[in-house]
Amino acid sequence: MHPVCVECNAKMNCDKNGAIVMEIFQGDKPYKLWRTDMYKCPICGFKVITGWANQPMAEHWESNFKKVLKDYKDEIVCKF
């Protein structure tokens, strides 16, 4: 099921498949990167993240984490 915007009573559309989201810890430290789907309301433009991958694409303890962060930094759509 698609997310629905409660303000507009509108079905949200997928704006980007495979959008990358950064999970942070201790205030601002990169913790995990996740592949997700980003949906957008066609009326007000509100965006939500849903459709999470089962596993993170990268985690902070992995030896190549800094390289992955650098490679994908321009694709990260939000942090939480």
Q: Binding to Zn ion by residue 21, rule CB under 5 A?
A: no
Among 5, 19, 21, 22, binds Zn ion (CB under 5 A): 5
Q: Binding to Zn ion by residue 22, rule CB under 5 A?
A: no
Cα(62)–Cα(12) distance, integer angstroms: 35
Q: Binding to Zn ion by residue 4, rule CB under 5 A?
A: no
Q: Are 59 and 69 in contact (CB under 8 A)?
A: no
Closest CA to 58 of 73, 43, 37, 41: 73
Q: Binding to Zn ion by residue 53, rule CB under 5 A?
A: no
Contacts to Zn ion by CB under 5 A: 5, 7-8, 41, 43-44, 46
